[in-house]
């Protein structure tokens, strides 16, 4: 026996979210998984239940892909046991790193890709 991880919950939550979403299901799932994995990098996220992180990742992925539509509905509330208001108190990594204390690094421009020549050895 092991404790369920965020990914265990996220697989189910994404399946439910895909039933009520107009965005491509694979895109929704990949984005939600990416967001959830980013939470692994934050020590402060350890105090949150894996199910809450998974539901938050699904919520945020739906919002990012369809910003003009409410990302949460009664079906997701039923299957996750969370309401949208439950996510509002979670610390946002971006907001955290937009502060002077962290030198506003989240406000820096992020290019869409890194040139491939930057990954080549200088000896070649």
Q: What is the structure's pLDDT at 77?
A: 94
Q: Using alpha carbons only, what angle is made at residue 50 by residues 1 and 38, rounded to the nearest 5 degrees?
A: 120
The answer to the question of residue 28 being in a domain is yes
Q: How confident is the model at residue 6 (pLDDT cuts 50, 70, 90)?
A: very high
The answer to the question of residue 27 being in a domain is yes
- Domain range for 76 is 6-88
pLDDT per residue as tens digits for the range 8-52: 999 999 999 988 777 778 889 998 999 899 888 888 888 899 999
> Residue 11 is part of a domain; what is its CATH number?
1.10.472.10
The answer to the question of residue 107 being in a domain is no
The answer to the question of residue 16 being in a domain is yes
The answer to the question of residue 71 being in a domain is yes
Q: What is the structure's pLDDT at 63?
A: 87
Q: What is the structure's pLDDT at 93?
A: 60
Alpha-carbon distance of 111 to 114, in angstroms, equals 7
The answer to the question of residue 74 being in a domain is yes
Alpha-carbon distance of 45 to 63, in angstroms, equals 21
The answer to the question of residue 25 being in a domain is yes
**Which phi and psi angles does 70 have, rounded to 5°?**
-65, 125
* Domains held by the chain: number: 1
């Amino acid at each position: 026996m092991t404790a369920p991880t965020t990914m265990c919950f996220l697989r189910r939550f994404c399946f439910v979210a895909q039933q009520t979403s107009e965005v491509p299901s694979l895109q929704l799932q990949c984005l939600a998984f990416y967001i959830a994995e980013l939470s692994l990098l934050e020590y402060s996220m350890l105090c949150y239940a894996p199910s809450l992180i998974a539901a938050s990742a699904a919520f945020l992925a739906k919002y990012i892909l369809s910003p003009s539509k409410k990302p949460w509905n009664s079906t997701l509330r039923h299957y996750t046991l969370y309401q949208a208001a439950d996510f509002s108190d979670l610390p946002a990594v971006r907001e955290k790193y937009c502060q002077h204390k962290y030198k506003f690094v989240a406000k820096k421009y992020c290019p869409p890709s890194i040139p491939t020549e930057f990954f080549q050895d200088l000896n070649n």
